[in-house]
Amino acid sequence: QAPTLASFLSSLNPAQLQAVKHDPQVPLQILAGPGSGKTKVLTSRIAHLILAHSLPPSSICAVTFTNKAANEMRERLTKLIGEERTSQVRMGTFHALCAMFLRKYSRMVGLEGNFTVCDADESKKLIATLLKPYKDYLAGKDMTLKEGTVLSMISKAKAKGQSPADYREHIHESNKKDKKTGLSQAEPDDVSRIVAEVYDAYERALRKSNSLDFDDLLVFGVKLFTTHRPAVAWCKHVLVDEFQDTNTTQYDLMQAIAVAKCITIVGDPDQSIYGWRSAEVANLAKMQKDFASTKQIFLEENYRSTGAILNTSIAIVAQDKARIQKTLHTSHPAGTTPVLRAFENEYEEASFIAVEIKRLVASMGGVLRWGDFVVLLRFNALSRTIESALQKEGIPSRVLAGHKFFERLEIKDLLSYLQLVDNPSFNPAFIRAVGVPSRGIGEKTLAEFVSRAEKMQISQLQVAEKIHDGKIPDIKPPVKRKLDSFVKTIKILRTLTEKGTSPAELIRRLLELLDYENYLKKTQPDWESRWENVQELITFATEAEVEVSDIIENPHMNLIDVDSEDAVVVEPKETPLRLFLQASMLSSEGDNQTEEDNKEKVTISTCHAAKGLEWSVVIVPSVEQGTFPFYRTDDIEEERRLLYVACTRAQGLLYLTHAEQRKFGGEAKKKDLSEFVSAVTKQNPSLFTNQTPNLPTVQRDVISRVLGRPPADEAEVRRRCAEFERTTRRRVPQKSDSANKNSWNPTFSRQRPIGTNPIFFPF
C-alpha cells in the first residue's frame, strides 16, 4: 500500500519540502552535502510531480549516475507511488537512456537498428589494429603510443563533443590539457596528429561494423535529440542526480531532452570526483545561464552519519582552501570517534580489517552483519590482499565494480556468437567467435578475411559465409574446412532466432553446438568457476525474458510518442535477443547479484563506485602518500574530495588505516600517512582515535538510532539485540524493509535482483 502524498511529505524537513514542492516550471538546483537527502528529495519530487501536478509518469525523465543508483531510486519511488506508475518513469543512466532511444530511432542518425554496443576491450583491439601502420614511424622516432592511451584521448574528445574533424582543429589545446597521458618521449604534435588520424579511422571502422562505443551512445543521443524533436516530445520534466559529475556531452544531452525547460538537478561540488573523465563542475554555472531564473535551494542537515564522522569528514575536505564553505550538520549524536590505525605492512593491515569485522559481527548481538560493511579502495588492485584476508577469516565478500561480469572471457565468447547473429556486420565479434573453440585459423588467415572484407565492401562474417558456400574459389580448401562448423553454428542460431527462440535457449543450444563445457575444461585451469558464470548468464537471460515481454506488451512502454503529431520513423521490431544483448552491454558489476546475496557479504569497492551509497561501517585502507592521493593524479583536490566521498558513506563507524610499507610492482616501499589525514590530525588530534570502538557503546548507539531514543536500561539493550538476532539475520527481506530510512537500519536494502534490472526500463 503506497503512502499518501501528505504522509510522505511529512517525512521531509522544511528545506527538503520546499525543494519538492518548488514550481515545476522554474528550473531548480538543489546543492547540498552528502547524506542531506538530495536523492531522497529528487525521488519525492518525481512522486510530487505525478501526484500533485498530474504529470504522466512517462513524461518524466530521471537520470542517475549508475545502474545501481537507478535501482535504488526505482525502489524508493515504488514505495511512494506504487510499482505500476514507477515502471513508467523513464529512469536510468544517460547511456541506457540513449541506447533505448537510438534503438528505436536509429535511422534518424544514420544507424541500423541492430547496432551493437562495443565495449572498451573491443575498442582497444580495434585501435591496436589501426595503430599498426604507425608502428615503424613511431619506432623510428623512439616513441611509443599505447592503444589504451589513444582510446582515452578519443574518449575525452567525445566527452567534449568533438568529432574527429573538431579534434584535429583542437589538437593544440587538447595537447596542453592531456599532459598526463602516459606517453613517453613523444612529440606532442606527432602524437596528436596520429591520434586524430586514428580517431577518424576508428569512427569509420565502428560505423562499418554497425556499432557504437560507450561514448558514442551519448554523442549519437545528442545528435538524435537535437535533430529529431519527436524523439523527445514526450518529455515534460528532467531530473538529474549527481549533476556535479556530468561532462559536456552529458550536459548537452540533458539540455536536448529538457525540451520543456523544466528541470531539477541535485549536486554537490565537494563530491565532484570525475574530472579525470572530463566531468565539468562548471556545468552548474552553465546551467544558470542556459536556464533562465534557475532557483537554488540548499539543504544543511545530514541524516546519514554520526556527528563524529561528519566532523572528521568535513575537516578533511575543508583543507581545500579554494572550496566554498557550506553548512552541514547532523542531528544524530556524536557517536564513536573515527579510528585511524597504522600497520607495519599491507598484510597486517588487511588482517586487522578482517579480524575487526569479525569481532564486530560476532559481538554486536546481531546488530551488524556482513552486508553492513564496506571496504573502500583508492583503486581496484588493492583488493587482492583484502580479499584474501577476508577469505582467511571465513568472511564472505563481493567486489563491486571489479572485473565486470560481462567482460569475462567465457561470457564474451558466447555473446560474440549472439552478437553476430543479431548484427552480422559486427567485425570485432567475428574475430573472437571464429576462434572459439580454436579452429586452427591463424593470424594470416584472419588478416586475409579483413582485407577481403575491405575489398568486397562486406563484413568479415559474410566473407566467411561466402568461402563456406564456395563463392570465393581462390581460397585454400583447408580454410574452407576449418570454417565449416563455425558457419553452420551461426546458421543454426540465426534460424532459431528467426523462429523466436528465447536468448536463454539460444545460449543453451550454442553451448551444445560448441561443446563449450569441454572446451573450457581443456583450455582453462579454473574452468569450474567459468562454467558457473556461464550458468549465471543463462539465469540473466531467463530473467531478462520476463522484462522483455513487458517492454513488448506494455502499452506504456511504447516509445512511439502519443502526444506528437509528427510522423515518426520507428524501427520495426525489438527482438528479445537484441534487448538481451543491450542489457548485457549496459549492465555493470553487481547487477547480476541478488539483494539477498549482498546482505550476507562484505562489500569491497572502489571509492568512485560507492558514490551515493551508504553503509553502517566504512573502512578505508591505504590512506598513504602515493596511494591516496594517488601519485599519478593531475588534481590533488579531486583526490581529497574522493576521500571525503568515501568517509561520508559511513553511517555509524569509520576506520582509516595505513601501512608503513607496501609492495608496489613487487617491490616493498616505505609509506607515509596521507597528507589529507596528517593535515587534519595536526590541526585537531581528537578527530581520530587509535582505539578500536567500545562494543557496548556502539551497541547502544545503534539501538538509539533505530529507536530514535536511547535504550532505557541494560535489559532493553539485551532485548533489542535478541530481536535483531531474530529479525534481521535470518529473515527473508521484505519489500518494506527499507521504509524506515531514518534509522541506521541493518536491513536497508541496497540492490534488486536482476529480473528487475531497470536496464529494461519502460520505453
Which segments are annotated as binding site for ATP? 32-39
* Cell, residue 21: 514542492
Compute CA distances 147 → 123, 130, 154, 199, 404, whole Å.
9, 9, 10, 11, 20
x/- contact string, 554-593, with ligand ATP (CB under 6 A)?
Answer: ----------------------------------------
Spacing of C-alpha 62 from chain mean position: 16
Closest alpha carbon to 241 in 374, 5, 45:
45
Decide: is 35 part of the binding site for ligand ATP (CB under 6 A). Answer: yes
Report d(CA 471, CA 2) in Å as an integer. 64
Using CB atoms within 10 A of its CB, is residue 218 exposed (0-12), middle (13-18) or buried (19+)? buried
**Total number of residues that touch Mg ion (CB under 5 A):** 3
Q: In angstroms, what is the minimal distance from the CB of 340 to ligand ATP? A: 22
| Residue 268 touches which member of Mg ion, ligand ATP, none, C-beta under 5-8 Å by kind | ligand ATP
At position 532, the amino acid (one-letter code) is E
- Taking CB under 6 A as the binding criterion, the range among 9-17, 212-220, 349-357, 560-568 that sits at the site for ligand ATP is 9-17
Side-chain-side CA neighbours of residue 721 (13 Å)? 18
Q: In angstroms, what is the minimal distance from the CB of 332 to ligand ATP? A: 10
* Cell, residue 291: 536556464
Report d(CA 603, CA 390) in Å as an integer. 11
Q: In angstroms, what is the minimal distance from the CB of 271 to ligand ATP? A: 6
Q: What is the DSSP string of 7-48?
A: HHHTTS-HHHHHHHHS-TTS-EEEEE-TTSSHHHHHHHHHHH
Rounded to whole angstroms, the maximal C-alpha distance in the chain is: 90
- Taking CB under 6 A as the binding criterion, the range among 8-16, 340-348, 529-537, 573-581 that sits at the site for ligand ATP is 8-16
x/- contact string, 693-732, with ligand ATP (CB under 6 A)?
Answer: ----------------------------------------
Q: In angstroms, what is the minimal distance from the CB of 408 to ligand ATP? A: 30
Q: Of 535, 691, 736, 742, which lies in the binding site for ligand ATP, with binding defined by CB under 6 A?
A: 742
Nearer CB in complex with ligand ATP: 385/648? 648
Cis link prior to 629 (omega < 30° from 0)?
Answer: yes
Q: Of 213, 216, 252, 268, which lies in the binding site for ligand ATP, with binding defined by CB under 6 A?
A: 268
Helix, strand or coil for residue 184?
A: strand
Return the DSSP state at 694: P
Q: Of 13, 226, 345, 549, which lies in the binding site for ligand ATP, with binding defined by CB under 6 A?
A: 13
Decide: is 272 part of the binding site for ligand ATP (CB under 6 A). Answer: no
| Residue 629 touches which member of Mg ion, ligand ATP, none, C-beta under 5-8 Å by kind | none
Decide: is 612 part of the binding site for Mg ion (CB under 5 A). Answer: yes
| Residue 577 touches which member of Mg ion, ligand ATP, none, C-beta under 5-8 Å by kind | none
| Residue 37 touches which member of Mg ion, ligand ATP, none, C-beta under 5-8 Å by kind | ligand ATP
x/- contact string, 286-325, with ligand ATP (CB under 6 A)?
Answer: -----------------xx---------------------
Q: Is the CB of residue 424 less than 8 Å from the CB of residue 404?
A: no
Looking up cell 519538492, which residue turns up? 20
Q: Of 22, 28, 29, 34, which lies in the binding site for ligand ATP, with binding defined by CB under 6 A?
A: 34
Report d(CA 632, CA 305) in Å as an integer. 31
Q: Which of residues 592-631 bind ligand ATP (CB under 6 A)?
A: 612, 614
Q: In angstroms, what is the minimal distance from the CB of 268 to Mg ion? A: 8
- Taking CB under 6 A as the binding criterion, the range among 36-44, 161-169, 327-335, 558-566 that sits at the site for ligand ATP is 36-44
Spacing of C-alpha 112 from chain mean position: 26
The interaxial angle of helices 147-159 and 120-131, nearest 10 deg, is 110
Helix, strand or coil for residue 179?
A: coil
Q: In angstroms, what is the minimal distance from the CB of 612 to ligand ATP? A: 4
Return the DSSP state at 279: B
Q: In angstroms, what is the minimal distance from the CB of 258 to ligand ATP? A: 21
Decide: is 676 part of the binding site for ligand ATP (CB under 6 A). Answer: no
Decide: is 39 part of the binding site for ligand ATP (CB under 6 A). Answer: yes
x/- contact string, 26-65, with Mg ion (CB under 5 A)?
Answer: ------------xx--------------------------
Q: What is the DSSP string of 292-354?
A: TT-EEEEE-EE-SS-HHHHHHHHHHHTT-TTSPP---EESS---SPPEEEEEEEHHHHHHHHH
Which residues make up the interface to Mg ion (CB under 5 A)? Answer: 38-39, 612
Task: Give the interface with ligand ATP as residue ranges (CB under 6 A).
Answer: 11-13, 16, 32, 34-40, 268, 271, 303-304, 612, 614, 741-742
